[in-house]
Structure 1
């Protein structure tokens, strides 16, 4: 091999290693895309006080036993769901968690920090409402599954869910050793095995982000008879919530 060719190979290898190092260091900025809160008023917000940050929660207060906690996607302003959810689920108190760095929440997002915030929110809500259902969308499906494996939820709804963030990363970036680099794993399938409450998985028919195979692997991770899968027709990863079946399927699950 000529000296020029060897030098070129060494240069390409160095550039590849630099790229991998950059992805490792800055990966969370490639996973989380903080959004501000659009639907915001003193009546529609509460603060969850954590030891290291104050976390914003958009709320629709309602007396009674039932409550709904929602965990959104990685680039979602969850407060935008408040009007539609308030109308669709009139008998539920509604709590929409703004991840760290999103919608006025302090701190920086990470899988473990969000998991701690979700547990704290559930415990606070559960003290007032003994029947708590969870909805998690996209990245939030990983948050919801983990929480449901640790707390006594009544129903679990997962929208465009995946089996593992590592699996998705391998599929989208096959040229990067993501299994070694990725800090955020969101291993939903591992937590699903411990869930016993009725669970609905809503998949988009034309999801360009989460392959159907990943959602089906998650489905089969649940114990037999616990989870069902519905496919929302003529929908993509981000447009699924625009279809009538989206809220209708949720209402049917929550009213079982």
Structure 2
């Protein structure tokens, strides 16, 4: 009987270790969900060449000093946000980045690469448009916060933001050592104190994916008088942009 119990324990430990290994190997497929193609045509598209990838950028050109760089969510077709951004920022040129591996872009997505790509896009846009607003949504907020610490962003808008992807994943998989396994952590709390651009956290009142306390925690990470929060009541994580208040909120950074 004792040998049988030992066998069962070893079997359970082996199964647990195999599950941890599978979670480690498959983690990026659980984070990134690239759309197969862009659903909406952009007025203009360009290609941004970066080490290891060719990135598609959907654009709405506009003359003048102002521009918006948009960094979307983990499963977002960023072209779907073109009409909303066009309405919120009629006088600014729009640049929507298709992440590595997403529609029209080559390569594979990962945190370090996505941040480097956002920096490269900023450096491409800056010579023509010196006044750049950065809008990040969901996963894109983790990229946007890091971008804002390394470039002179005019204003920063974080739509459905989170304090740390690592913490969110630990809540979703409470029986696994996710904090140790996760490679793409998007610890926005670590970078927020270094942001100096005026920042708006735009939160969905009924966000079913990101707990409210995560956004509340992130707000406290910024230096005093840098960040404010606006809550759109009744909105969900994926439906916040359907609210009539969404465009008005984005226009804060106009």
Q: CA deviation at 1:19?
A: 0.7
Divergent runs of 4+, >4 A: none
Shift of 1:6: 1.8
1:134 aligns with 2:134: yes
The aligned length equals 253
Alignment of 1:155-194 (within 5 A): 155-194=155-194
Distance (Å, rounded) in 1 between the aligned partners of 2:80 and 2:208: 23
* Per-residue Cα deviation, 1:77-113 (whole angstroms, up to 9, x for no partner): 0011112211321101001101001011000000011
Tell me if 1:230 matches 2:230: yes
Could you tell me how far apart the structure 2 residues matched to 1:161 and 1:88 are?
19
The Cα of 1:187 is off from its aligned counterpart by 1.0
Q: Note if 1:94 corresponds to 2:94.
A: yes
The answer for unaligned runs of 5 or more in structure 1 is: none
| Other-structure match for 1:254 | 253
How far did residue 44 of structure 1 move? 2.2
TM-score scaled to structure 1, two decimals? 0.96
1:132-187 CA-partner distances (Å, limit 9, x unpaired) = 00000000000000000100000000011001111111111111101110000111
Aligned residues: CA RMSD: 1.1
Please state whether the residue corresponding to 1:12 is helix, strand or coil.
helix
* Separation in structure 1 between the aligned mates of residue 155 and residue 14 of structure 2, nearest angstrom: 50
Where in structure 2 are there 5+ consecutive unaligned residues?
none
Residue aligned with 1:206, SS: coil
1:217 and 2:210 correspond: no
State the TM-score, normalized to the length of structure 2. Answer: 0.97
Give the corresponding residue for 1:38.
39
| 3-state SS of paired residue (2:101) | coil
